[in-house]
Amino acid sequence: MNAKSTQTDKEPTVRRGRPEIVDEFSHLPVSRQRKWQLRQMAKGGCRICGQTAISGGYCLKHLVHEREYSAERFGCKRENLNCKSRLMEKQMETQSARWEA
């Protein structure tokens, strides 16, 4: 115990690399990936890619992916054709078609 304390006393505290992020998520007992997700969601970004989130902490691309993946995972037969992600998808398709023409 004494040896450890003398070693730390001798060495000057030189901090290397990126400085530690100190915020409301830094003390949580979760992985660094989860902390990144929580920081993105608090910032209003997608929890996967970090772009601007539309709903549920996802961007449009990952909202669509999550919808399809969860429907397959839980064996859903019916589809809500007027859900937010589908409407946004249609809107983006019409916008891109307008730009191409």
Using CB under 5 A as the binding rule, whether residue 59 contacts Zn ion is answered as: yes
Segment near Zn ion (CB under 5 A); pick from 15-23, 40-48, 70-78, 81-89: 40-48
**Bridge partners (DSSP) listed for residue 52:** 45
By the rule CB under 5 A, 48 interacts with Zn ion: yes
Residue nearest to Zn ion (CB): 46
Question: How many Å apart are CA 86 and CA 26, to the nearest integer?
Answer: 36
- Print the binding letters for residues 62-81 with Zn ion: x by CB under 5 A, - otherwise: x-------------------
Alpha carbon distance 25, 90 (integer Å): 36
Distance CA 44, CA 16 (A): 31
Binding site for Zn ion (CB under 5 A): 46, 48-49, 59, 62
